[in-house]
Amino acid sequence: MHYRLDEPMEAMVKQLTLLMTKLKSEDYKHSLPPPFLEKYTKDILFLELYGRELLQELVQMKNYKESNKLFDFIISFRKAIVVPTY
């Protein structure tokens, strides 16, 4: 049986994707004023919390295909984050 993402969840996925794209961009890293890490950490924390919430919702809906995709996405994103050292 196929479960379709409902509207609010689609919006969450969209927002997560936008945030991930923003965090990965070099422009974003260089545009931050010094306490760079503070801002960066807040965004990453938001991603973690938002992602986890969405993951739980998908699992409750038994939408394992989407939840596995999201889980892999979060894990690979976490590995891809390189915090610059000054």
Q: 19 Cβ partners below 8 Å, 6+ apart?
A: 43, 46, 47, 50
Regarding pTM above 0.75, the answer is: no
- CA-closest candidate to residue 85, choices 2, 17, 16, 29: 29
DSSP string, 11-70: HHHHHHHHHHHHHH-HHHHHHSPSSHHHHHHHHHHHHHHHHHHHHHHHHHTT-HHHHHHH
Residue at 5 is within a domain: no
Residue at 15 is within a domain: no
- Cα separation, 53 vs 44, in Å, equals 14
pLDDT tens digit sequence for 26-81: 666 666 565 666 666 677 777 777 777 777 777 787 877 877 777 777 776 666 55
Q: Which domain holds residue 70?
A: 36-80
Residue at 22 is within a domain: no
Residue at 52 is within a domain: yes
Domain count, the chain: 1
Angle at Cα 21 formed by Cα 56 and Cα 65, nearest 5°? 35
Residue at 14 is within a domain: no
Residue at 86 is within a domain: no
